[in-house]
Amino acid sequence: MAYARRAYAYYQPPHIQRGIAMVLKAAGLNPQGPLHMPLSNLALWFMRRRVARLNAIGA
């Protein structure tokens, strides 16, 4: 968990957006379509929330 806390802190929005685009493309969807930004924002929110929780428990 300590690794995740440190590693997630380095991910920036472009990294997340590119990862989501790759997932969408693998699923046969338009990687820059209408799902791209909402899913990217959701993933970024999730990762930031996870970092905050890991910091809170001292992992």
The number of angstroms, rounded, from the C-alpha of 33 to the middle of its chain's C-alpha atoms is 17
Q: Is 44 in contact with 14 (CB distance < 8 Å)?
A: no
Amino acid 33: pLDDT: 95
Question: In the chain, where are the structural domains located?
Answer: 2-57
pTM: 0.81
Amino acid 27: pLDDT: 97
Amino acid 59: pLDDT: 64
Residue with tokens 């989501």: 20
Q: Is 48 in contact with 2 (CB distance < 8 Å)?
A: no
- Tens of pLDDT, residues 1-59: 778 888 888 889 999 999 999 999 999 999 999 999 999 999 999 999 998 998 898 86
Amino acid 8: pLDDT: 83
Give CA–CA dist 23/7, Å, rounded: 20
